[in-house]
Chain A
């Protein structure tokens, strides 16, 4: 029972963190507004389903590309100009983090103005499924399946396709990748956009299996940060597996003492940074 509910939440954590990992690992933006993209994805789908009455799967086909576009444009405008002007890579990271703070304030408050702070949900696949003597709603199991399929598909995209290869090259060394004929001004926004897309997908999965509201973003940003550190900053498979590990840790702690789940996450997070900043799967660079 613990394992299954851990997998269910873990799958969403995994998707959330892969997006952040891509944005930091390649585009070098520690996107503190990542959770806001998740929230945006969830609420856009909710609006489309409730007001237009269209199928949630069709709604995500609209919201996903929309978020990708937003992310792509944001990188092309804000982060590219920061990158081109700053004197050192460390300064770029610092400025990008600050700009991401600005995005966090902007997106969250636009959402609050638009949707208010009420919690929203819509009915979707609510029949009950029995697994190992415990009842689960079908939509959570479907969310798990979609997350795993999306994660694997994304991994294959990175390892097998040409754009994926370009992304991996840019992650290792953007300058050299540029010399080798990778169009950096195209690949980095692409990564940021893909991160936003994955966030939107995770938001969709959350909206179909739980209630969502305009204030939920930061919580998922923090979870994504923890997972990304757990899996190693910038390591995509690391964050996929890290998501599941955190989900299972969460449900184990939850079984004994529900109020200690968050403190346990943060304690794990701080210990990891101190003892093994490169993460469980990352190679230490220091």
Chain B
């Protein structure tokens, strides 16, 4: 059978496919128009935010609404440092800054259970927005700031690098002891603690790791925003969208959040400017439909389809054999 032989080489196929995508992406600025470079950068940014959100919140079930906070801190670090230092240094500083911030936040908040953690991270986002606005006006003397310019290609390549790093980290964490520990925390935290998992340490560590990528993505997005103020940098959309994209894509499989982010970032880029209200309205409806009818997201749907097709195939074969016997 051809199909079984194909499946034996499945890993090889996946790797080849990934290499093809990577080649396509790295050579893209050579032939893609400047508009499509911006579109791809946005898609990559949402993939980074969504995958790094799902890295922590997916297996543990702790719903973080902090992505916009880390993203915003990254934007500010990038905007301030990038004006004087090379772009890559600013990006690294953005990631490091958010790592430290997340470590501190994690240490005080991750003892909170479930819903309290969600609303705390939400409050944190609001608090950071307001306090940075206050500092900007009372110490900087003006609200908002203009960001240094950078070439779209440079931004694209660095974003691509961050995206690859995010995906690799997410993949390896998922397959490591850390990933298993997180899953058992999500299953039953008390039981996990009894099994000898230092639950607080696992949670704080992965929360901080996921923040690195959000901060780095923010730092590299700063130049393309041209002008920032706290309400732009800490826009709540950056917290909501990753959650919705991950749920839409489905968190059961590694590629779910990637799929959700890619689909939504592309449609957002195209539809949001033309029909902002209709777009967000449909978005809400889709979200509710997915939660109610498709708890596994797109990935769940794909698996369900595969299963039913396989089952119907077996079923039909069984019937044929019955016919042959009689």
Q: Which residues of A contact B (CB under 8 A)?
A: 30, 78, 81-82, 85, 90-91, 93-95, 97-99, 101-106, 108-110, 112-113, 218, 222, 225-226, 229, 233, 259-260, 262-263, 266-267, 269-270, 273-274, 277, 286
Contacts and interface: CB of A to CB of B under 8 A. Distances in A.
B109 interface: yes
Interface of B: 61, 63, 108-109, 112-116, 118-120, 122-124, 126-127, 130-131, 133-134, 137-138, 236, 240, 243-244, 247, 277-278, 280-281, 283-288, 291-292, 295
Contact of B114 (A93, A113, A267): A93
Given A95-B291, A259-B134, A225 B119 contact: yes
Given A82-B292, A101-B287, 13 more contacts: A94-B63, A95-B291, A97-B63, A105-B284, A108-B280, A225-B122, A226-B123, A229-B119, A233-B115, A260-B134, A262-B130, A263-B127, A269-B127
A90 B114 contact: yes
A98 B65 CA distance: 11
Nearest to B120: A273
A98 B292 CA distance: 10
A30 B126 contact: no
A110 B244 CA distance: 19
25 contacts: A30-B115, A30-B118, A95-B291, A97-B118, A98-B243, A98-B247, A99-B287, A99-B288, A102-B284, A103-B288, A105-B280, A105-B284, A109-B277, A112-B277, A222-B122, A229-B119, A262-B130, A266-B124, A266-B127, A267-B127, A270-B124, A273-B109, A273-B112, A273-B116, A286-B113
Given A82-B291, A95-B291, A109-B278, A270 B127 contact: yes
Consensus secondary structure, chain A interface: helix
A109 B284 contact: yes
A95 B289 CA distance: 12
A110 B278 CA distance: 8
B243 A101 contact: yes
B114 A109 contact: no
A273 B123 contact: yes
A31 B320 CA distance: 54
